Amino acid sequence: MVWLFAIATGLIVANLYYAQTLIGPISRATGLDPGAAGLIVTLTQIGYCLGLLFIVPLGDLLENRRLIVIALLTTSVALLAASMTSSGHLFLFAALCIGLGSVAAQIVVPFAAHLSKPETRGKTVGKVMSGLLMGIMLARPVASLVADALGWHAIFVLSAVTTAALAFLLRARLPQRQPHGGMHYFALLGSMWHLLKTTPVLRRRAAYQACMFGAFSLFWTCVSLELTGPYFQISQTGVAIFALVGVAGAIASPIAGHRADQGKSRSTTFVALSLGVLAFAMPLVIRSSRLVDLGVLVLTSIILDMGVSANLVTGQRAIFALPPEIRSRLNGLYMALFFMGGAVGSSLGGWMFAAHGWTGVLWTGLAFPLIALCVFATEPRKA
């Protein structure tokens, strides 16, 4: 079941990232002008954030298996619509719906935590989040390779079929889980602000991960521009291979989850944030030949991904230790807050690359984990 949860979350969340490397061909095929092309990714992320805030909390109210299946079938229809349309406006609407439906991944994660034993909950969540992170990291290279071979439509068709099949598989394999919510939907939403105000561990863990995910999004938004630029001159296939190598960083998830189960969350968090600093410091300090610089970038991608995945799992382990009847709302808030950090990182990265080049991107990326470490320094020892 853990492997099923891990694969499911990876396949679901990958839907958010397929379009990132295909903006050019999609905008040309749908008639979107360059100014509006960026909305392809932005609306998907907005849909995901809206889903985290307004759909994921339903996991504390409605039967979870049915909610997951409905969200996945909605995503499948939206993916199919995106693959078939030649209208820019319809594609953007489909992108918004893809983001909304893909929050099924964040209903699956608390489901996995609910089914696991308390003493192994961190390890279980770590394995599931490894699948989610691999979905994020593999989506871009897979989309590029499929588009090169079959055109950009193909990845959306393949994903629509896979997502629908996954919906029926989960319906067959998952047990029913009816939460003991007992409150109306709007009362549920209103309680989220109260939870944010009264749950310091949520605010702290979201702040750490918002900084780390901001650095992550900044790096992966800009690194392909640097790799295909005049210095490295790497092809799109080469960029896809580079992204695949970065997947190795996902191995940190189960390790971090296991350490959190042993009561070592504080030291694990410090190591994770320090890895973020190291990742951006390396290419700033080590400058040599083109081959050495490329090797440093490969190490940067792996180390950064390790830090992000370790910090993410440690944060979720802390949140899932709180009462089960509020887990879905806490998880939705946690993910929404740090995805906002990712949006800030992406937008800052693009602006810094245009204005100050790759060096400006690295200094900006370094600032994110440094800010997180400053916040971490204020954490009480007993936290």
Long-range pairs for 177-185 at CB < 8 Å and ≥24 separation? 177/63, 177/64, 177/65, 177/111, 177/114, 178/63, 178/64, 179/59, 179/60, 179/61, 179/62, 179/64, 179/325, 179/328, 180/325, 181/60, 181/61, 181/325, 183/61, 185/58, 185/61
Phi, psi of 33 (to 5 degrees): -75, 160
Q: Looking at the domain assignment, is residue 55 inside a domain?
A: yes
User: In this predicted structure, what is the pLDDT of residue 317?
Assistant: 81
Residue 382 lies in a domain: no
Structure tokens at 280: 């951006």
Residue 381: inside a domain: no
Evaluate whether residue 383 is within a structural domain: no
Phi, psi of 31 (to 5 degrees): 75, 20
Q: How many domains does the chain have?
A: 1
Distance CA 200, CA 131 (A): 28
Phi, psi of 286 (to 5 degrees): -95, 110
**How many other C-beta atoms can be found within 10 angstroms of the C-beta atom of residue 345?**
26
> Is 357 within the bounds of a domain?
yes
pLDDT along the chain (383 residues), means of 10: 89 88 78 67 83 85 90 96 89 93 88 77 75 82 84 93 96 84 76 86 92 88 79 78 78 77 85 94 88 91 90 84 77 83 79 85 94 91 57
Residue with tokens 């997502």: 163
Burial 159-184 (b: 16+ CB within 10 A, else e): bbebbbebbeebeeebeebebebeee
pLDDT digits (tens, 9 = 90+) for 109-130: 878 877 777 777 777 777 787 7
pLDDT at 34: 55
What's the CATH number where 73 sits?
A: 1.20.1250.20
Answer yes or no: is 364 within a domain: yes
Residue 112's domain spans which residues? 2-376
pTM for the full model?
0.78
